Amino acid sequence: MSRKRIPVVVLTGFLGSGKTTLLNHLLRRRAGNRIAVVVNDFGAIEIDAMTVAGQVGSTVSLGNGCLCCAVDASELDGYLERLTRPSARIDIIVIEASGLAEPQEIVRMILHGDNPHTVYGGLIQVVDAAEFDATRARHPETDRHLALADLVVLNKTDRVGEPGRRRVLATVEELSPGTPVVCASFGRIDPELLFDAAVRPDEEENARQLSFEDLYAELYDDGHGAGDHEGHAGHAEHEGHEGHAGHEGHLHAAYDTVSFTARAPMSPRRLMAFLDSRPPGLYRIKGRVDFGAADPDNRYVLHAVGRSLRFHPEPWPRGEERLTQLVLIGSGLDGSPRPGDALLKELDACRDTEPAPADPDGRSMWGVLRYVPDDRAEDRPHGHPGGLSDGHPGDLSDGRPGGLSGTGTGADPAGA
């Protein structure tokens, strides 16, 4: 059975937009998760490492369970390999791209890298609301970067009035149609947008707080039941309570969490049509899908973040109940009486409640298999028809997000 994949989030934004501030916020609210921070810029390492982790003497304090290291893009694969070793016990990796870096290079490396233990966690673009016009004027590439983002954090909203915020928001939405935008001040977004709540109790972390030397050594040492359908839409509006001095206040990011469970298998075609047309505010989807007779041997672990979508097939564990379980996270989701109810209805309609028609060629799965990474050979189910996943839909290879958002084509690659 494959180990849990570690999300790799790329954090980008122009100089001074608030990346480090956001990172600090995530580290404070990491809920017991161990976050590895990779700084992709040797020039910035000293400043960033100090700000992020706090400097104690000549070593970097890792009280937050983070690891800071400098990395050049060409070295990234090696770092990811080391950081994903079980001994590092890392739950999430954040790569802070330097202000002027081309972020799509890093995204491509994560999507196409051959590390089977990572999963792409999204490209987050931090935007300085107060300097937006000036930044666009000085750096025309801002517009292109925005179009590539999976999530835009419109930061420093405390520095612009409501009309100013609305104006910038409208421009961002124009430049990056369909991309979820979270407004924030001092980077205070809800960490659940990026990673799950505690996976291990804090005590364990405290009991085994690692020194920088420990982590450095690790890096360099080579040596559930449900009814037929159960949906739950929850809405959370969290308030910041970091307890740190200074500018802490309210956390403005509101998000909705929707859980879906189905005992009847999902129709591959209908689920892909749903995913193709998922609403802009829906930022993350995670869970497992049972496609029933379309692939009785495997369950499909689904990770969607922003425009990117991946399925990782893995054999059903013996004795495991065949269920589809999904969690959807987003903001501004439709539905009544609760946000997200509309999504649950749509997912309900994706269930195969009738026996699926005979499909001897397995064509019904082709739309799904497009999203199984080519380079993860061990994921590939037996009998998988080759060559279907050229041009990953979540790819940035042509410099444009070729993902699901806005494409509206749920078509099978072979037109099936």
Which residues of this protein are in contact with ligand GTP, per CB under 6 A? 13, 15-21, 44, 48, 99, 155-156, 158-159, 185-187
Contact 322, 352 (CB under 8 A): no
Q: Give the contacts of 356 (CB within 8 A, at least 6 positions apart).
A: 265, 267, 292, 293, 294, 364
Which is closer to ligand GTP, CB of 19 or CB of 270? 19
Three-state secondary-structure class, residue 152:
strand
Q: Does residue 337 have a cis bond before it (omega within 30 degrees)?
A: yes
Query: C-beta of 18: minimal distance to ligand GTP in Å?
Result: 3
Three-state secondary-structure class, residue 130:
coil
- How far apart CA 260 and CA 65 sit, in angstroms, is 32
Query: C-beta of 390: minimal distance to ligand GTP in Å?
Result: 36
Which is closer to ligand GTP, CB of 99 or CB of 113? 99
Query: C-beta of 15: minimal distance to ligand GTP in Å?
Result: 4
Which is closer to ligand GTP, CB of 126 or CB of 264? 126
Which is closer to ligand GTP, CB of 15 or CB of 170? 15
Query: C-beta of 190: minimal distance to ligand GTP in Å?
Result: 15
Which is closer to ligand GTP, CB of 15 or CB of 197? 15
Query: C-beta of 156: minimal distance to ligand GTP in Å?
Result: 4
Q: Angle at Cα 252 formed by Cα 126 and Cα 19, nearest 5°?
A: 20
Query: C-beta of 20: minimal distance to ligand GTP in Å?
Result: 3
Which is closer to ligand GTP, CB of 101 or CB of 175? 101
Q: Give the contacts of 233 (CB within 8 A, at least 6 positions apart).
A: 256, 257, 258, 259, 333, 335, 338, 339, 340, 341, 343, 344
Which is closer to ligand GTP, CB of 239 or CB of 354? 239
Bridge partners (DSSP) listed for residue 92: 35
- Return the closest-CA partner of residue 108 out of 3, 179, 10: 10
Query: C-beta of 248: minimal distance to ligand GTP in Å?
Result: 12
* Helix, strand, coil tally for the chain in percent (to 5): 30, 25, 45
Query: C-beta of 185: minimal distance to ligand GTP in Å?
Result: 4
DSSP 228: S
Which is closer to ligand GTP, CB of 41 or CB of 395? 41
- Per DSSP bridges, beta strands 324-330 and 282-289 are antiparallel
